[in-house]
Amino acid sequence: MIQVFIKMLGCAQDFDSQTAKILTEATLLEAEPELMKRRPLIDTLALNRLKGLCQNPVKTYGELLSLMMGETNRSDIFYKDYRRTSFGFAVIHCIEYIDFAAIASASDLSHHLPLTIIKEILATALPPWISSERIILVFNNAFYDRGFRQAASAVVLEACQAFHSKRFEMKDEQLLLRGTIT
């Protein structure tokens, strides 16, 4: 979204308040508050510009999250923010943890993926909006392992710990964040 807005500025296009609000809310919804603190310079400047154009108050991250929670179909929730490259990756915002392993396994099998990573983010109604996270690795048993599970798990754990320090720990191919995210 931000990339499109940058190109718009490059084409000498800008927005009125109402249109800027649409873009701002879509951008806010895309990034978790913790990620917002780490955004690159250009993204930060673009988002500030958009916010500055909005004369009416924009929805908070929590309000936007609660809109997303209106989804009830489990498959729709799983695929809402899902990417498939050489593995599957689903980011899910939910009020309580849900078991998506069966959907992920079916996706692994039908797309010949060795692994699907499910990142579940527990949302709350009040700041800081997110209470905890868990990451589940769903491996495709049809793939010959040859150390892949161990290597993939170690890489994901390392990435999580780099982002959230040692608060992430691994248990049975499931990574849990200890404590509240702030």
Partner 1 sequence: MAKGIGAKVEWDSEGHICRVTHDVTIRLSRKLNIVTLSVAEYMSLAQREPSVASSNFAEWLSDSFTLDASGSCFNGHNEPVEMPVGRPGWFRLDEVDGRGFPTNLKENSAGDWKYWSLNPEDSGVRSGAMRSFVTSSGTCSLDLGIPSFAQHSMIMIRECYQALKPEIISPMERIWNNYPRISAKRDDEAIREFLIAQDIGNLPLGLNSNTLLNDKEYERKFDIIGKKRLVEGTFGNLNILGVEKLRETLSGVPDCNTTYVRGYHHPDADSVLSSVFEAFRRNNVYTGKLHLPWTEAIPIEVQHILDLELIELLAKIPMFKNYHDVVLVDSHSFDGVSQSQVKVVVDHHPIDISFPSYVAISQESS
Instruction: State which of residues 51, 60, 62, 80 lies at the interface with partner 1 (CB under 8 A).
Output: 80
177 is a site residue for partner 1 (CB under 8 A)? no
State which residue, 86 or 182, has the beta carbon closest to partner 1.
Answer: 86
Least Cα distance to 102 among 136, 143, 153 occurs for 136
Pairwise CA distance, residues 153 & 137, whole Å:
8
Lookup: tokens for 71 = 């989804």
Residue 12's identity, in one-letter code, is: A
Contacts of 48 (CB under 8 A, 6+ apart): none
Least Cα distance to 65 among 104, 22, 20, 95 occurs for 95
83 is a site residue for partner 1 (CB under 8 A)? yes
Note whether 169 and 161 are within 8 A (CB): no
30 is a site residue for partner 1 (CB under 8 A)? yes
State which residue, 29 or 157, has the beta carbon closest to partner 1.
Answer: 29
Interface with partner 1: number of residues (CB under 8 A): 49
Instruction: State which of residues 37, 57, 70, 96 lies at the interface with partner 1 (CB under 8 A).
Output: 70
Binding site for partner 1 (CB under 8 A): 1-16, 18-19, 22-23, 25-27, 29-31, 39-43, 45-46, 49, 59, 64, 67-68, 70-71, 76, 79-86
